[in-house]
């Protein structure tokens, strides 16, 4: 993991994709592949990176004023809702800092609405600055804590 820390600051380039099981990948590779799978809306790929005991915490923000906590079933339900709402999304990783099995990821998210959402028409591009703290267990995403700032 020392190699991960050495390249921890500055603009991040995605590592080359690897087909191995997540346990054969570094923390940096797992976190990046997980975000790329979400971005591609590839449910099967995302599932490969999620620990069965995953817990996601989203702190209060404009889109989720009360915040939320979700286990695997809750994450899967949110995935279903999101896949109907979003036509596409993009994760522009700005910084990725790794220490052992934990990563802090700063990224810009943009998502294009597939359908109207409240006052926003279909085709509208939403954006957020996000910091996500991700912890792995058994080579999979076990804890994810989100700080979303929608623009």
Domain of 49 in residue numbering reads as 2-8+18-150
| 3 pLDDT tier (thresholds 50, 70, 90) | very low
- 111 in any annotated domain: yes
HSE, CB side, 13 Å, CA atoms: give it for residue 71: 3
- 59 in any annotated domain: yes
Token digits of residue 61: 């923000």
Q: What is the tens place of the pLDDT at every residue in 41-85?
A: 999 999 999 999 999 999 999 989 999 999 999 999 999 999 999
- 56 in any annotated domain: yes
- 119 in any annotated domain: yes
The number of distinct structural domains making up the chain is: 1
Q: What is the tens place of the pLDDT at every residue in 90-111?
A: 999 999 999 999 999 999 999 9
Separation of alpha carbons 74 and 96, rounded Å: 26
- 13 in any annotated domain: no
- pLDDT at position 55: 98
- 139 in any annotated domain: yes
- 75 in any annotated domain: yes
Separation of alpha carbons 88 and 85, rounded Å: 9
Q: How much is the pTM?
A: 0.83
Separation of alpha carbons 33 and 145, rounded Å: 17
How many whole angstroms from its chain centre is CA 121? 25
Q: CA 68, 33, 102 angle in degrees (round to 5)?
A: 60
- The CATH number for 50's domain is 3.10.450.50
């Amino acid at each position: 993991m020392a190699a991960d820390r050495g390249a921890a600051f500055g603009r991040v380039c995605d590592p080359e994709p690897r087909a191995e099981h997540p346990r054969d990948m570094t923390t940096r590779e797992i976190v990046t592949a997980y975000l790329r799978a979400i971005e591609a809306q590839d449910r099967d790929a995302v599932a490969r990176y999620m620990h069965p005991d995953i817990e996601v915490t989203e702190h209060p923000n404009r889109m989720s004023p009360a915040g939320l906590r979700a286990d695997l079933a809750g994450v899967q339900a949110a995935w279903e809702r999101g896949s109907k709402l979003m036509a596409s999304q993009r994760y522009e990783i700005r910084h990725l800092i790794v220490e052992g099995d934990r990563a802090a990821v700063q990224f810009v998210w943009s998502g294009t609405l597939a359908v109207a959402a409240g006052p926003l028409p279909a085709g509208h591009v939403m954006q957020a600055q996000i910091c996500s703290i991700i912890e792995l267990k058994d080579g999979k995403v076990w804890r994810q804590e989100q700080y979303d700032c929608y623009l």
